[in-house]
Structure 1
Amino acid sequence: MPQQTVAKYNAFPQVQLTDRQWPSRVIDTAPIWMSTDLRDGNQSLFEPMNGEKKMRMFETLCAVGFKEIEVAFPSASQTEFDFVRGLIEGNHIPDDVTIEVLTQAREHLIRRTFESLKGIKRAIVHVYNATSKPFRENVFGMSKPEVVKMAVDAVKLIKTLAEAQPETEFVLEYSPETFTATELDFALEVCNAVTEAWGATPERKVILNLPTTVEVATPNIYADQIEWMHRNLARRDSVLISLHPHNDRGTAVAAAELGLMAGADRVEGCLFGNGERTGNVDLVTLALNMHTQGVDPQLDFSDINAVARTYEHCTQLPIHPRHPYVGDLVFTAFSGSHQDAIKKGFSAQQADGLWSVPYLPIDPADVGRSYDSVIRVNSQSGKGGIAWLMENEHGVVMPRRLQVEFSGVVQQHTDAHGGEVSAEEIWGLFADTYLDAAVPVRYCGHQLFENGAAQGIRLRVDIDGVPQELTGEGNGPINAAVHALQSGGIGIQVRSYEERSMVPVGEDGNARACAFMEVAGSKSDCYGVGIDANIVTASIKALISGANRSRASVQDAVPA
């Protein structure tokens, strides 16, 4: 950056907290969660949600387990007001869920807000005013005492209106907006004045929301600010400290985690980080981070895809494919070394053991994702990913040397065509290479017979398009088939043989035999593969597949 632009900025001053405690603390319990998807998240959309979308989002948030949901800014518009009324009059609010509404610290807006809440059993009224020096001096032209008076007058009015509606339990939430840019001693003064005016007690707590309205410093400084407030607030036992991190510096999740370590009790944010400018803190990431540390987040994201699709429908915003935990590619490995490590990790993972699979901090199954998308293949991929897809999509467990051989086939394809190769395309390559090749030999059928101690075979094949019946004997069906092919001019030597049961994924569960035959080729050994319900037939098909593969390697070795 040019020096003249850098010179416009100063580093944010550190908090003088030499005995800070938060660095040695851990998050061991879930905070109180409050979703602001329907308010902060909604007001930042190109096209705010209509009533149907807001209701769908509200129901999803309830189903996930949010007990506090900020649903509207009812004094801002008739649409917002009507949505609150619709929730109340339609009995859409579960008994264990408290809705929250936002209002500025202005009398007519507060009164309108209370009108929207008539008849509700319990509600949080969230009032705010800006407290930082730039707002005091440049936006509002107010002194510090005037800012304090504005907050206190608003709280007193809320208290009076709440007392006039005794059938409703009202909870006060106050935000010193732009808290992180406000002098700490002044933020403390305003907050203490608010809790005193409300008459906060341990039984009637005030929520003090201390937002990073704009991220202005590193997350450790926010943690210092929260710990300083936590240690210096009057009536701390009558206060719930709430965090509302924005993501201007891209560190909202870290700021929230450090803020909880610093003494906060509650977090406000949106599901996938939607919100003004760069967004609110991403509550899904925050909650699932806790999950991966063995802490129950008390939110249910076991069907993360359903939540994501609802979010995208309601907000008309896409979720980035690399978004933590939910993006389409976050449980995907293209790199060959990554794929190999993941495949081996899954093989070693015990069903009842601690999760320990390389490159995957969470078990995809915990969020309702399936393993079929764990491995994806492109030109950067290796044998591990291909083997994973073959096993999990088609039930074919390849010997290691076949993995190496077939990965070369896939590599040639990706080098030639570019882009990603789907599981079905990989299966097509496998079938073309090993199962469907009929040149020079095409299998037509066989009959086994015994000749004393020897095993005999009559093998019906087409060789270069000519039908033939070949006879051979040996110490078993495979050996007899080798001799039969040799009698027809197809010289072949078997290096190794393996057979495995194969249950194709998604089919009727009837196992088939999969035979792997490693045969001698002119340049190197190569594999043949045969699949059939009968193991002998599968073995003969594998032998013929190997013979065709071997002939192909001979042709490749002949100079042009």
Structure 2
Amino acid sequence: MLTNPAEKYRPFAPIALAGRTWPNCTITQPPIWLSTDLRDGNQALIEPMSVEQKLRMFELLVAIGFKEIEVAFPSASETDFNFVRRLIDENRVPDDVEIQVLTQAREDLIRRTFESLAGAKRAIVHVYNATAPVFRQVVFRHNPQETIALAVSAATLIRDLAAERPETQWRFQYSPEVFSQTELEFARDICNAVLDVWQPTPDRKAIINLPATVESATPNVFADQVEWMHRHLAYRDSVDLSVHNHNDRGCAIAAAELGQMAGANRVEGCLFGNGERTGNVDIVTLALNLYTQGIHPGLDFSQINEVARVVEDCTQLPIHPRHPYVGDLVFTAFSGSHQDAIRKGFAARNPDDLWDMPYLPLDPADLGRSYASVVRVNSQSGKGGIAFLLERDYNLSLPRRLQIEFSQVVQRAMDATGKEMTAPMLWNLFEQEYLRANAPFKYVTHHWRDDESPSAISTTVELSGTVLTRQGQGNGPIDAFVDALDLGIRVHSYEERAIGHGSDADAIAMVEIAADWLGGTIYGVGIHSSIVTASLLAVVSAVNRGLATITPAQRQAILPLAVPVT
């Protein structure tokens, strides 16, 4: 039983802010975005990313359009230090991108941080120290004057070390950690003391970052805090005012939006809200919220599925199926009344109309998502019942997205017959749809060599009765086989399972592919005693099913790529 909270918790006091302006403001342009996926998001992982995973994530962030990326806490670990060095030594940072690194306000850590940045073209050094009373009094046992002295000393060292390295274009950032629980007058005083050291100008701005390190109050209170600082900061025309919201109360999105209305022009966060405890603010949601209001966010999420798969792979964290804009089910209506309204909306819509659809605040096509799941009609026992029967009677466990895809096949069959579908009928339909999808391509044989890198494959397939021998290379047999087919496909996900038990069990492989000519993703399935052969059969299955969804003219434009090697 919960205790009486009034006896244990202190309510957050409202802020006396006369003439607050943020309630009458609207957001008319995107903020400066800073991704903390490689630092704050990475620190929050059970298994932090390897250097190779961090490189893959960095390349994704650059491709999306981030111009400021916090890449590491280089004094915290050799992995982070080495990652920063690799970015610089291998010239991986585009000229229009600034990398940012974080350091505590300690001399040894600051010096190590500058070592990591040697030779960088452009860099932001981000320093912080805790300013909230509970941290000053309990964690560090500093009085206010000692806390300010620590920040000023760090700012001075950063300024001087940067001056010794004129080959780099430096910018500086200061965060009063746990700003959300810090007295406003003290937050102002410590930030202004740091700015007095750095002496920013309109041409060389400093960054003052206001972190809701612990979300402590309703979003309107945070907006009041930001507007108060916006009014009282020194050098205001020479400061980018940033917010870094955490999600302890579940209000990070709202707080970051109101913070922008209150004067902030920069937002720090992670792509899907990863971060310590309940996470950083979700930049994908913030950006697409802007997009639905007719404001381009300056970030490219037109292939959101690919972004999601890379992030899931690098972080080993799943994205919730109901995650705003991105989850596998967010554009799927299971309710009959919802489905009816959406169908009527599509029927009444003209291509040049502004987007105004029942239940759909955003056009899925803008994110590279298909309409297939949107127009799907599902019975109450549809997807879940199908998955249950196949797993119970055939030991067949399907990935969630394959469950959704196959349920559409089942629904079409049920609509045609109007009869109940038993487990044997479901298995027969699954075989027809996935395991007998052998035209126009048919797998014949392959020879895979993995004694060199990259591995190589020689494969024989039939294309509409013509036997073709193709060669390919890649990171493993599937990658090499895709290279051999030369159809412009990309593997989004791959899963394998055993069907049956013991030494006689067959392997089932399930592959999800994408291609520019597909407009979405599609699954293929293969079963064989060899897992490699099952995987190649799954790729062929997916290709054939994908080709069946496009026009003959489109197929003719694609298939000539698969000609014999001369």
- The answer to whether the superposition gives a TM-score over 0.5 is yes
Structure 1's 107 and 377: CA in aligned 2 closer, same or farther, altered over 3 A? same
* Partner of residue 114, structure 1: 114
CA–CA distance in 2 between the matches of 1:354 and 1:84?
Answer: 45
* Partner of residue 354, structure 1: 354
* Partner of residue 341, structure 2: 341
CA–CA distance in 1 between the matches of 2:193 and 2:53?
Answer: 39
| CA deviation after TM superposition for structure 1 residue 508, in Å | 4.5
Give the SS at the match of 1:422.
helix
| CA deviation after TM superposition for structure 1 residue 6, in Å | 4.6
Aligned residue identity for 1:506: T
Identical columns (%): 63
* Partner of residue 172, structure 1: 172
Aligned 1:189-204 pairs, distance under 5 A: 189-204=189-204
Match of 1:425 among 391, 410, 428: 410
* Partner of residue 506, structure 1: 549
Give the structure with higher Rg (CA). Answer: 1
For normalisation by structure 1, the TM-score amounts to 0.71
Aligned 1:403-422 pairs, distance under 5 A: 422=407
CA deviations on 1:116-161 (whole Å, 9 max, x unpaired) are 0000111000000000100111111101010001000000000000
Structure 1's 248 and 299: CA in aligned 2 closer, same or farther, altered over 3 A? same
Aligned 1:256-295 pairs, distance under 5 A: 256-295=256-295
| CA deviation after TM superposition for structure 1 residue 65, in Å | 0.2
* Partner of residue 378, structure 1: 378
CA–CA distance in 1 between the matches of 2:250 and 2:121?
Answer: 38
* Partner of residue 134, structure 1: 134
Structure 1's 196 and 422: CA in aligned 2 closer, same or farther, altered over 3 A? same
CA–CA distance in 1 between the matches of 2:270 and 2:324?
Answer: 14
Contact 2:339 2:377 in 1 (8 A): no
* Partner of residue 235, structure 1: 235
Aligned residue identity for 1:359: Y
CA–CA distance in 2 between the matches of 1:138 and 1:429?
Answer: 66
Aligned residue identity for 2:367: V
CA–CA distance in 1 between the matches of 2:195 and 2:204?
Answer: 10
Asked whether 1:297 is paired with 2:277, we answer no
CA–CA distance in 2 between the matches of 1:253 and 1:49?
Answer: 26
CA deviations on 1:294-314 (whole Å, 9 max, x unpaired) are 011000000000000000000
Give the SS at the match of 1:372.
coil
CA–CA distance in 2 between the matches of 1:380 and 1:17?
Answer: 52
CA–CA distance in 1 between the matches of 2:228 and 2:151?
Answer: 21
CA deviations on 1:324-344 (whole Å, 9 max, x unpaired) are 000000000000000000001
CA deviations on 1:237-269 (whole Å, 9 max, x unpaired) are 011100000000000000000000000010000
CA–CA distance in 2 between the matches of 1:296 and 1:157?
Answer: 39
* Partner of residue 324, structure 2: 324
| CA deviation after TM superposition for structure 1 residue 427, in Å | 2.3
Structure 1's 423 and 14: CA in aligned 2 closer, same or farther, altered over 3 A? same
CA–CA distance in 2 between the matches of 1:300 and 1:369?
Answer: 14
Aligned residue identity for 1:423: Q
CA–CA distance in 1 between the matches of 2:550 and 2:83?
Answer: 48
CA–CA distance in 1 between the matches of 2:408 and 2:319?
Answer: 24
Contact 1:127 1:173 in 2 (8 A): yes
| CA deviation after TM superposition for structure 1 residue 226, in Å | 0.2
CA–CA distance in 2 between the matches of 1:65 and 1:341?
Answer: 36
CA–CA distance in 2 between the matches of 1:5 and 1:29?
Answer: 41
Contact 2:378 2:411 in 1 (8 A): no
Q: CA RMSD in A?
A: 2.2
CA–CA distance in 1 between the matches of 2:372 and 2:22?
Answer: 41
Aligned residue identity for 2:224: D
Contact 1:336 1:380 in 2 (8 A): no
Unaligned runs of 5+ in 1: 382-409, 435-503, 511-560
Aligned residue identity for 1:349: R
Q: Hey, which bits of structure 1, 4+ residues long, moved more than 4 A?
A: 416-421, 507-510
Give the SS at the match of 1:111.
helix
For normalisation by structure 2, the TM-score amounts to 0.70
| CA deviation after TM superposition for structure 1 residue 432, in Å | 3.8
Contact 1:301 1:367 in 2 (8 A): yes
Aligned residue identity for 2:410: E
Aligned 1:392-541 pairs, distance under 5 A: 422-432=407-417, 506=549, 508=551
CA deviations on 1:165-203 (whole Å, 9 max, x unpaired) are 011111000000010100000000000001111111112
